[in-house]
Structure 1
Amino acid sequence: MTLTPIHTLVHIGAGNGSQLPQYEAMAPVRLVLIEPLPSHAKALRQATANLANTEVWELAVSCIPSSEAKLTEYNLASASSLHPATGLNGLFPGIKVVQQHSVTTISPQTLIERLQLDPKQHNQLLIEANGEEQEILGSLLEHNYLTLFRYIQISMPDVPLYQSWYNPDELLSKLENHCFELRGTDNSDPDIPLWQLDLNPVKQDLKVTQSALQHANELNESLQQKLEALQQALKTEAEKREQAQLQANSSTQENDSQKVQYNQLSQQQKELLHQLKAETKEKEKIRQELKDSLHQLQQEKNRLAKANGVLTEYKDHAQELEKQTSELQLQLKSQRQGGEKAENQLEVTYQKLDDIKQQHQQLTQSQTELQKTLTTLNQQLQAEKQDKEQTQQQLNQSNAKVDQLKQTCDQLTKDNNTLKVKENLLLDLRKKHAELQQKHQKLLSEHQTTQSRQQLLESELLKAEAQIELIKELMLNGSAI
């Protein structure tokens, strides 16, 4: 998030427009979205049809020396790239090539020429070019174009994902040498962090002043060498003049000639003195400029110290906000995992409940059948008892009929044995009935316990959903702020 309004926002690798709401909130004067994948570029044009001052460029920014290149599209469209995949296969094991597109490319230098940026404005650059990010930044740094942007964001994975130049430490060092400072890292996607850098205008002015100071020192050294050369030439001419004077004193015949030579030497000496005065004046001017530059440099250093203090406070605040955001993301992730776990437990509970219901139905059916069997046996037992009573009455009424009674007794004995067997069978059936009733009671108890757990899980799930909604609302409010 920038602290000042953005004039021109350029996004290389804009995707399908998922960040458009954020850009609308930033309200840049001009928005340039660059996307080579045809399906994403089409989606961007549709999404920005009603947005003023928004441009969609369907092309790829690349340092490849060609006007066209092959763009590989994967089943994860956001991972599409001009470069063959390397670490991408480890990050997304199921990733597959869908097709290849022939796309138009332009160099970073041509991009800057087309943008026609005003260096006095606050411009922002976002680069998500999947393997081409560091090449683009390197080219812009080499041609001193990157300082046209006050803010920069660049996707920087922890490991190389494509077969291209990858050296984050070297890139960061180059950026710092060009007065950019790493403000923070956006870890919304932990696999592909987003570097956030700001151009420090104080350091930039200081660098310009230091360059001017170095130029002044070099010019001063050059003037000093010229002064020494003039002094040496003046000394040589003085020696020649002295020699000529001696020759004039020793030879009157050559007096006229020596006078002419003397006048010439005097004239040369005057010219050398005049040139020496001019060089001395220029040297004093350079010294004064150097003194003024040193004074400005000291003022810039003081301003830089104040700016660094403010920047340190801003960084601390940004780190605190980033920490709070990370904690909220962890809480949201935990709540989501808890909700998924509760749903899984609820599904298992429902399955167990269905199994218990089926077992309950089977037991109820078995109990009904056993009840019918028990009723039949009771009826048979009552009939047998009635037969026994009738036989006993006949035995009491007819003592005379001994043979018939014996036969009847034998028959009764047999019937008694059969009855005992049936009674034993009845006892066994009663035991089984009692066991089935116990199982039925146990199943009913388990069913009640399951229902209680289900209600508890549903309550926990409702709480988790409420917490998730609250966190979403907090995050939305935080984003809006």
Structure 2
Amino acid sequence: MHKEQHNSQIWPTTHMDTIVHLGAGRCRELDDYLAAKPARLLLVEADPQLAKMLQARTIDQPQVEVINRAVAAHTGPVTFHRYNLPDVGSLYQAAPGLLELFPGLKMVQELQMEAIDPATLLQSIHQQVEQRNQLIIDLPGEELPVLKALQQADQLHYFEQLQLHCGRQSLYEDGEPAATILQWLQDHGFELLLEDDSQDPDRPRWDLKRNKLQLDHRELKQQLAQLTKTRDEQTELLNEREDQVELLTNALDEQAKLAAEHKTQLEQANQAKVEQLKLANECQTLIEQLTKARDDQAKLAAEHKTQLEQANQAKSEQVKLANNRQSQIEQLTKARDEQVKLAAERKTQLEQANQAKSEQVKLA
């Protein structure tokens, strides 16, 4: 959003190193910028029509670069809202405050485009803190997010001079009023020099200058805070380490006690092992003795078996011989009996013969 105004200067107007105007619009300040003889002038505008007009106006100015891009805190797709007033276009829709200022304001077009973040945009400039660089921000609704993005990228302090175009109250949805943005800038090392509402009382221009002493003081304060934080962290870490040392000492004592117990258990185990080994040796000797006794018994049993078999065989032979003798005795007895019987018969016959002979003799 941009209003007709002259570029009231409270700084020297010549020999600027770099001038960057984000949201340049129709850039009515162009002649003042060129008069400052900057080594580089960067004009960035989201509206394609206005950017094309700027390119045509600066075609013979090699130090001027016109970029047709939307600038936002984060790179990505955005919607540019174009209204029936050419200087009020924004990435945000109009808030009630802006509609009260312009009752006939209407949106005429929504353009989809890719936004670029300011840190990426300014990478090619290679600014130095010692240079005289000026930043003009005219980004309705996106002022504070872009400033914060530059601060986070450590690029905001490269600008010695800063101009802010912003409504006293929030004129766009999600936007911040000027007081909030100015306070943030002052908190981050910029000194407010001038408020110019001669062209637009509702949306003035604020001129600020980088306050080196304030920045140095702020940096020292940050360093002190960081050192204090580091000291506190170191103290806390020391306390934690002392606690850890105590815990480790206790753990070490427990480990030593446990090691002593383990040593005693190990000695007992070794002693038991020796006793077990001795017992095992004794058992082995006993086993060997029992094995030998078993083998001797087995050998003796085998010998006894052999002897028994031989005895049984001899017994069988004796029985057989006895049976044979008994048979012979029976046969001899039978033969004897038959001989006795035969002898008896012969005796009888003889007696009969003798008797007969006697009778015959007697008869004769």
- Normalising by structure 2, what TM-score? 0.57
SS in 2 for 1:207: helix
Distance 1:59 1:52 in 2: 20
Amino acid at match of 2:111: H
- Written as runs of structure 1 = structure 2, the 5 A alignment for 1:32-43 is 32-43=42-53
Paired residue for 2:89? 80
- Assess if the C-alpha contact under 8 Å between 2:23 and 2:139 holds in 1: yes
Distance 2:114 2:225 in 1: 44
Match of 2:121 among 94, 111, 115: 111
Distance 2:156 2:109 in 1: 34
SS in 2 for 1:197: strand
Q: Which runs of 5+ in 1 are unaligned?
A: 234-481
SS in 2 for 1:137: helix
Distance 1:218 1:19 in 2: 47
Paired residue for 2:31? 21
Residue by residue, what CA displacement relative to the aligned partner does 1:430-458 show, whole Å, maximum 9, x if unpaired? xxxxxxxxxxxxxxxxxxxxxxxxxxxxx
Distance 1:37 1:202, change over 3 A: same
Paired residue for 1:130? 140
Paired residue for 2:207? 196
Distance 1:219 1:99 in 2: 53
Paired residue for 1:62? 72
- Residues 1:71 and 2:93 aligned together: no
SS in 2 for 1:85: coil
Judge which range, 172-181 or 192-201, deviates more: 172-181
- Assess if the C-alpha contact under 8 Å between 1:178 and 1:204 holds in 2: yes
Give the Å deviation of 1:100: 2.2
Distance 1:210 1:79 in 2: 40
- Written as runs of structure 1 = structure 2, the 5 A alignment for 1:209-224 is 209-213=220-224
SS in 2 for 1:135: helix
SS in 1 for 2:123: helix
Distance 2:21 2:93 in 1: 23
Distance 1:29 1:98, change over 3 A: same
Match of 1:154 among 164, 171, 180: 164
Distance 1:99 1:212, change over 3 A: closer
Distance 1:134 1:214 in 2: 25
Q: Which runs of 5+ in 2 are unaligned?
A: 1-8, 246-364
Paired residue for 1:9? 19
- Assess if the C-alpha contact under 8 Å between 2:45 and 2:51 holds in 1: yes
Give the Å deviation of 1:17: 3.0
SS in 1 for 2:122: helix
- Residues 1:47 and 2:61 aligned together: no
Distance 1:207 1:38, change over 3 A: same
Give the Å deviation of 1:57: 0.3
Paired residue for 1:180? 190
Give the Å deviation of 1:78: 0.7
Paired residue for 1:206? 217
More strand by share: 2
Amino acid at match of 2:33: Y
Distance 2:175 2:38 in 1: 32
Residue by residue, what CA displacement relative to the aligned partner does 1:155-209 show, whole Å, maximum 9, x if unpaired? 1212221112314333323212211111111212222101111111122223334
- Assess if the C-alpha contact under 8 Å between 1:7 and 1:121 holds in 2: yes
| Root mean square deviation, CA, Å | 2.8
- Assess if the C-alpha contact under 8 Å between 2:26 and 2:53 holds in 1: yes
Q: Which has the larger radius of gyration?
A: 2
Residue by residue, what CA displacement relative to the aligned partner does 1:216-236 show, whole Å, maximum 9, x if unpaired? 66777859x98xx99xx9xxx
SS in 1 for 2:20: strand
- Assess if the C-alpha contact under 8 Å between 1:180 and 1:199 holds in 2: yes
Give the Å deviation of 1:116: 2.6
- Normalising by structure 1, what TM-score? 0.44
SS in 1 for 2:108: strand
Residue by residue, what CA displacement relative to the aligned partner does 1:333-364 show, whole Å, maximum 9, x if unpaired? xxxxxxxxxxxxxxxxxxxxxxxxxxxxxxxx
- Written as runs of structure 1 = structure 2, the 5 A alignment for 1:268-417 is none
- Higher RCO (CA-CA < 8 Å; seq separation 6+): 2
